[in-house]
Structure 1
């Protein structure tokens, strides 16, 4: 998991975002409390972390009580991030 965290931090995620996303990839779908417990992210932080991951399009939120967080495919997410980084590189050299 440590290498995966470093990879995700390298493409712009925070430590907590990387931990939450990796945890959710193993759970596929979970509540904030479940993600918090499995990832060791404090409950006081998990909701902001999950909101940020949703804004970055790394997961989807399913309405209900409690909310359920569904992971987006790592292949889809990493492909999109690769394209974004390639555009940034091209923009910086032109």
Structure 2
């Protein structure tokens, strides 16, 4: 059992000891991402979960809210167009 544990422990320690090699490009990208993240404003709402009395907190950006609204409206209008048909004469 000790013969199995020692090599595994050595691999784990070697993996933890290896440092992250970063380049200037990665650092610049991270800095750009942090600036963009700092400017993002989240709007949080409590929404009911279907089938329960529990509420779930959901945080989204205004852009995400607008995209979801547009998608819902387009799906609704597509559904309404597909269900409307000509009257059937009997």
Same-fold call, TM > 0.5? no
Larger Rg: 2
Q: What TM-score do you get using the length of structure 1 for normalisation? A: 0.28
The answer to which structure, 1 or 2, has the higher relative contact order (CA under 8 A, 6+ apart) is 1
Give the structure with the larger strand fraction. 2
Give the structure with the larger helix fraction. 1
